[in-house]
């Protein structure tokens, strides 16, 4: 958690900027400096907790897998 906090500060981001895309960038940065264990699973609770508090954005909805799903998605909106 301390690594993530420092990385966010270095990127000039707060908890509210912790999106799935930002988390992927963090993981890539960690891998680039040699960390290889406990990367992805460790972020799950780190992303879930601030979302539960309402201070981090919710994950985007999954993209429709089929053209029919895309049509249904547009219809629902």
One digit per residue, the tens of pLDDT, for the chain of length 77 reads 788 888 989 999 988 788 878 888 888 888 888 877 666 666 777 777 878 888 877 777 777 788 888 888 888 87
Q: Provide the angle, in degrees to the nearest 10, between the axes of the packed helices 20-32 and 40-53.
A: 150
Query: If you count them, how many residues does the chain have?
Result: 77
In whole angstroms, how large is the CA radius of gyration of the chain?
A: 15
Helix (H) or strand (E) holding 44: helix 40-53
| Cβ-proximal residues to 26 (8 Å cutoff; 6+ apart), any chain | 4, 7, 8, 43
């Amino acid at each position: 958690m301390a690594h993530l906090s420092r990385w966010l500060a270095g990127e000039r981001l707060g908890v509210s900027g912790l999106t799935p895309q930002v988390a992927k960038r963090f993981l890539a940065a960690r891998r680039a400096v040699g960390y290889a264990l406990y990367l992805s699973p460790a972020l799950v609770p780190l992303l879930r907790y601030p979302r539960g508090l309402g201070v981090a954005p919710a994950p985007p909805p999954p993209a429709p897998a089929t053209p029919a799903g895309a049509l249904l998605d547009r219809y629902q909106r």
